[in-house]
Amino acid sequence: MLIACPYCGPRDLSEFTYQGDANRTRPNPMSNDQSAWNAYVYERVNTAGDHREFWQHSGGCRAHLVVIRSTLTHEIKSVAFARETAK
């Protein structure tokens, strides 16, 4: 599988590190809402289809990326710098 890093171009998956689901929203750090923190820490959606994920080009430019990847086919639909994407 190749991921097209915006800086480096298409590179092998072995150069990248998966850093988690990019769909989650962290609760306010001052919040004492235990259910919101439990949901943030423990609950995950097992998506069948396009999934928004954080990846780092750890074997290259070290940029943090947001990748849209199909969990059914592993097709990479888009790659963007994480700093330029706001959910």
**Residues at the site binding Zn ion, with contacts judged by CB under 5 A:** 5, 7-8, 57, 60-61
To Zn ion, the closest distance from the beta carbon of 37 in angstroms equals 33
C-alpha 65: how far from chain center: 7
Return the number of the residue (1 or 41) whose C-beta is nearest Zn ion.
Answer: 1
To Zn ion, the closest distance from the beta carbon of 3 in angstroms equals 9
Separation CA 70–CA 80 (nearest Å): 16
CA distances from 28 to 19, 25, 33, 40 (A): 21, 9, 9, 11
To Zn ion, the closest distance from the beta carbon of 73 in angstroms equals 23
